[in-house]
Amino acid sequence: MHTSHPRLPGELTFMALVVLFSAFMLWTAYGISRFDSISSPGFFPMVCAATMLITGGMNLVKTARAKLRLEGGETWMQQLVRKIVPLQLVLFALLILAYMLLLEVLGFLVASYLFLVLAMSLLGSKRIGLNVVVSFVVLAAIFIVFRTAFSVVLPAGSLVGPHLPELLK
């Protein structure tokens, strides 16, 4: 049974990006060993990428034929922002970016602690005291497991590292 659905804002752009990515992956897979034989190293990646390209192309055509449905008098961009890229998602992505940038400067412990507390608040937790305690307990457990069980040296940070006790480095 075939059911069609109205096109959502951004869906056509996403499908076009999928097709472009699939074409790039096919070209990259072809560059591994050209198409020498079925047993060549690039054959399986080429088959996968070609399958992605074909099915992506089929979905792109299907999506392009579908009628765009806008709700409640919103423009295309307003609906895209509301449904696909809500403010909370953008803020969380920025928080992850800040965490990645601060990890080297502040070190794993401080950057991760700040990330956990802020992430819980951003995701809706209003209990700040509980966020602080849970973040500390979770981070302590992660630190102990990685330091003792896996013997992983976590980054101490260029700003905070020199001031940490040897146990936490």
Residue 73 forms part of a structural domain: yes
Residue 34 sits in which domain range?
11-83
Residue 16 forms part of a structural domain: yes
Tell me the pLDDT of the chain (169 aa) as tens digits.
455 678 888 889 899 999 999 999 999 999 988 877 787 888 899 999 999 999 999 999 999 999 888 778 888 788 877 777 888 999 999 999 999 999 999 989 999 999 999 999 999 999 999 999 999 999 999 989 988 888 888 888 778 767 777 666 5
Distance CA 85, CA 103 (A): 26
Question: Looking at the structure, do residues 69 and 102 belong to the same domain, yes or no?
Answer: no
**CB-based contacts of 49, cutoff 8 Å, min separation 6:** 22, 25, 26, 28, 29
- In the chain, what is the straight-line distance between the N-terminal and C-terminal CA atoms, in Å? 60
Chosen domain end from 83, 98, 114:
83
Quote the pLDDT of residue 163: 74
Domain count, the chain: 2
The pTM assigned to this predicted structure is 0.60
